[in-house]
Structure 1
Amino acid sequence: MTGCVLIVSDDAQVHQPLRSILEPHGFEIHGAGSLAQADACLAGLPVALVLLDARWPDALAVTRQWREGSSVGIMLIGDDTDRLAALECGADEYLVQPVQPRELLARARNLLRRVNPPVPMDTHLKRFAGWTLDTGRRRLKAGDGRETPLSHGEFQLLNVFMRNVGLTLSRDQLMDQLRNREWLPNDRSIDVLVGRLRRKLQDNPADPELIITIHGAGYLFTAAASLAA
């Protein structure tokens, strides 16, 4: 799968290698060297994937801003020390430099498949605890009508929880049920995703009601879902 990719960096040594890897494989590449340019591209182009230089000023804050308002795929590229912070801010992927061409291509294609999956014939609205999950558009709707986009990781995790209501799932069990995601040893990404999902569900982490931490065991989801009419 190819698509429209936005590379956000003011460093030609970051931008040009990424372009040279992706463009021959049919990706439509656009570049932005400032936040204003990036926002203009996101508003005016069918961008499916953003490659963001993690060393770019305020890269993490920008990631959080884009994730709050969009379901676009976001991949940060930088040093390994920033990887967990990037995931906490809503990034879908993190690629450590120096970039390996085959890894970039594989991750970009996989992320595009997750961001723009074929719409299933049995798309439904699922209701739980006052929330509605639009499985086709990957959005949460609150009781007052406000909609919140979910990243692919958040969406997958919520679906895993809804399939296992009332069961305590360990981190390993959760990782096994998440599709199309690569994990590293000692990775705390599950905790990051749970934290992000709790914030979007307004589930107080100090006293959660929907996603409960079972200390030493894992997480328990309490809300049964039903299909909306």
Structure 2
Amino acid sequence: MNIPTHLAVLDDEVDITQLLATYLGHHGFRVSQVHSGKALMELMARDAPALVLLDLGLPGEDGFSIARALREHWRCGLVIVTGRGDAVDKVVGLEVGADDYVTKPFDLRELLARIKAVLRRLTPASAPPAPAPAEPAASTSLRFAQWQLDTAARRLLDPSGAEVALTTGEFDLLTALVTHAGRVLSRDFLLVHTRGRDGGPFDRTIDVQIGRLRRKVEADPDNPQIIKSVRGAGYILVPRVEAG
């Protein structure tokens, strides 16, 4: 028997959490409803879900701070579902590590598709195959500039061997760059390979995630030597990539 995937819905409006719990429950998910950041953290500690649906507009609480806490302590999918549709809020939401950003009012079918897309990216075996890499590598361990990317274990090790935490989107983006090292990849290409067909036209997504990646892998993020921008074309991973 398949174990249903556990989701958590954090929203201060009980009607919304009940609606989502009922709808997602009918589609085979186990859904926990919480109505405060404290309640979510208690749930994460005892029964962490695979994905959290997070509302930003919580009375007396900072939704972005809750998102940061999730990213610091747990590896789970994170979809922001909120009435705050301003472009600045979207950028900040992506910067703190959200895998997707959905504004209210939303279509339940679209939200379900986005949840499934994030969960697919969390499960390497179910991800769609990428185009053949520019540089062949039989091993799932790829080295570049003394960094090591393990595509099977979904881990990034820095030159000292310490693991560096990456969000799902950051890992998928870095994998696309590493497996196509030396090639300029357009934003559209990277958007498809990190968010799939459910990604939408929000072009800043890739730029935001590139900025986050640079802060993690570059000695000087303001003068990047590993992930370079190509004006009007996209991004390129410069160092040579080797298997091993």
TM more than 0.5 = yes
Which runs of 5 or more residues in structure 1 are unaligned? none
Q: Deviations over 1:199-219 (max 9, x none)?
A: 221452311111112233322
Q: Matched residue pairs, number?
A: 227
Q: Please point out which of 100, 103, 106 is paired with 2:113.
A: 106
Q: Please point out which of 85, 92, 97 is paired with 1:90.
A: 97
- Tell whether the 8 Å contact from 1:126 to 1:134 is kept in structure 2 after alignment: yes
Amino acid in structure 1 at the alignment position of 2:36: S
Q: Which residue of 2 aligns with 1:127?
A: 143
Q: Which residue of 2 aligns with 1:224?
A: 240
Root-mean-square deviation (CA), in Å?
2.4
* CA–CA distance in structure 2, aligned partners of residues 143 and 109 of structure 1: 34
Higher mean Cα deviation, 89-98 or 208-217? 208-217
* CA–CA distance in structure 2, aligned partners of residues 203 and 212 of structure 1: 13
* CA–CA distance in structure 2, aligned partners of residues 123 and 14 of structure 1: 46
CA apart distance, 1:113: 1.7
* CA–CA distance in structure 2, aligned partners of residues 222 and 84 of structure 1: 26
Q: Deviations over 1:84-131 (max 9, x none)?
A: 2211211001111112111121111221121133389x8722222222
- Tell whether the 8 Å contact from 1:123 to 1:136 is kept in structure 2 after alignment: no
Q: Do structure 1's residue 199 and structure 2's residue 215 form an aligned pair?
A: yes
In structure 2, relative to structure 1, the CA distance for the partners of 1:118 and 1:218 (3 Å cut) is closer
TM-score normalized by the length of structure 1: 0.87
Q: Which residue of 1 aligns with 2:130?
A: none
CA apart distance, 1:4: 0.4
In structure 2, relative to structure 1, the CA distance for the partners of 1:14 and 1:123 (3 Å cut) is farther
Q: Identity of counterpart residues, as a percentage?
A: 37
Q: Which residue of 2 aligns with 1:30?
A: 32
- Tell whether the 8 Å contact from 1:3 to 1:112 is kept in structure 2 after alignment: no
* CA–CA distance in structure 1, aligned partners of residues 219 and 55 of structure 2: 32
Which runs of 5 or more residues in structure 2 are unaligned? 128-137
Q: Which residue of 2 aligns with 1:76?
A: 80
* Alignment map for 1:1-229 (pairs within 5 Å): 2-56=4-58, 57-78=61-82, 79-81=84-86, 82-118=89-125, 124-178=140-194, 180-185=196-201, 187-228=203-244
